A and B are shown apart, each in its own frame.
Chain A
């Protein structure tokens, strides 16, 4: 999709694989079975986490990259979960 001109942020826990296959914009999630969730959090904290994850994915598609680049999300929910 990137090659066809659609900047695409991939949200995944398998960051090294995403890097190796050359995905240009990578946002790390917290688990393989729940890329955009975290069942260990309270429902409110999980929604806040997901919102920031998607916000980060939007940052990624609006940022110029030249090679596989990881867009980390800052951790805050763990503390106030």
Chain B
């Protein structure tokens, strides 16, 4: 089968964040991880071309997926594979959108990324095969992907056994026992130590109950918080640039704007050039101060809270959110503005 492989600019060897804005393009044959994938696929399937797009371009432009699909079709693709994107959000989103477009157009396709990748839901009905969390797990991931491609190429449907990240499809069927009896049985199993059994698997993110709005903004205290890794220049407290294990706070009392050279972003997931030229682009202190002075809010909270969102697991981020909210409530803060990259 003739396969076209999608990679982001980084894995295609075209550069890092400085080339994240490049548009869709095609390269001949295998590139980067495609070489190992081709090896694992053996002689039955050939990767005939590699299509590439910069992460920022792919995640910000609604037409990018269709353009990439057109490139793949133009090259004569019979099957499309995207990734592995591991835990990378923009790359995962790009892979997911591309396979969704291919699947909708009738071209067999699969994407591969970590099950926690936030882009995963954009894959729609197209299969996503689980990848490891980071590129350290390239080889086992590609081994799984090669096997999944071989199966998909026969026209078969991928299942959890193939490493497919299975969404909670709900299919109606008749069962012998009525609901009450099944519920009691589940409770008994739970009491017996079985934590897994369920009739309704729920995955992904929880539903968030929105908070009540602020009543009197003009007298409210508002906090700035961010996952853009904004820290004092030199990063004295050594905030991680990826996969955060902690968060930090910095006083901003008496500061009107974040000066370039005094503050910087140490985030590892995007080009920080624009942020470092003017850190207010990732933490809008200058505008918040102006609005505070004009009376739009009562007071800006005296410190901001910061972590890095890049590759940080959902469970960790959830814990930070709970801790931030607790701190802010204690300090009498009524609302927050969160900048996210």
Contact = CB atoms under 8 A, between A and B. Distances in A.
Interface of A: 1-14, 16-18, 20-25, 29, 31-39, 46-47, 50-51, 53-55, 57-58, 61-67
B237 to A, nearest CB: 22
A67 to B, nearest CB: 7
B228 interface: yes
B211 A36 contact: no
B41 interface: no
Interface in B267-293: 270-275, 277-278, 280-284, 286-288, 290-291
B89 A14 contact: yes
B296 A8 contact: no
A7 B338 CA distance: 10
Contacts of A9: 335-338
Given A37-B281, A53-B284, A54-B287, A4 B325 contact: yes
B270 A8 contact: no
Contact of A36 (B209, B280, B335): B280
Interface in B68-86: none
Nearest to A66: B210
A57 B273 CA distance: 25
B199 to A, nearest CB: 23
A35 B321 contact: no
17 contacts: A1-B325, A4-B329, A6-B325, A6-B329, A8-B338, A9-B338, A14-B90, A14-B93, A24-B210, A25-B210, A31-B60, A32-B60, A33-B275, A36-B287, A39-B277, A54-B337, A64-B210
Contacts of B286: 47, 50
B341 A17 contact: no
Contacts of B207: 22
B284 A63 contact: no
Contact of B270 (A32, A62, A65): A32
A67 B17 CA distance: 33
B205 A21 contact: yes
Nearest to B326: A4
B206 interface: yes
Interface of B: 17, 56, 59-60, 89-90, 93, 118-119, 121-122, 205-214, 217, 222, 225, 228, 270-275, 277-278, 280-284, 286-288, 290-291, 296-297, 321-322, 324-326, 328-329, 333-341
A27 to B, nearest CB: 8
Contact of B335 (A8, A21, A55): A8
Contacts of B322: 4
Given A32-B90, A33-B275, A35-B282, A7 B291 contact: no
A61 B208 contact: no
B331 to A, nearest CB: 11
A20 B123 CA distance: 12
A47 B288 CA distance: 11
Given A39-B281, A54-B291, A8 B274 contact: no
Contacts of B213: 7, 61-65
A7 B333 CA distance: 10
Contacts of B277: 39
A22 B334 CA distance: 20
Contacts of A57: 337
B210 A2 contact: yes
A1 B209 CA distance: 10
A13 B324 CA distance: 22
Contacts of B222: 58, 61
Contacts of A24: 208, 210-211
Contacts of B297: 58
A22 B62 CA distance: 21
A24 to B, nearest CB: 4
B59 A14 contact: yes
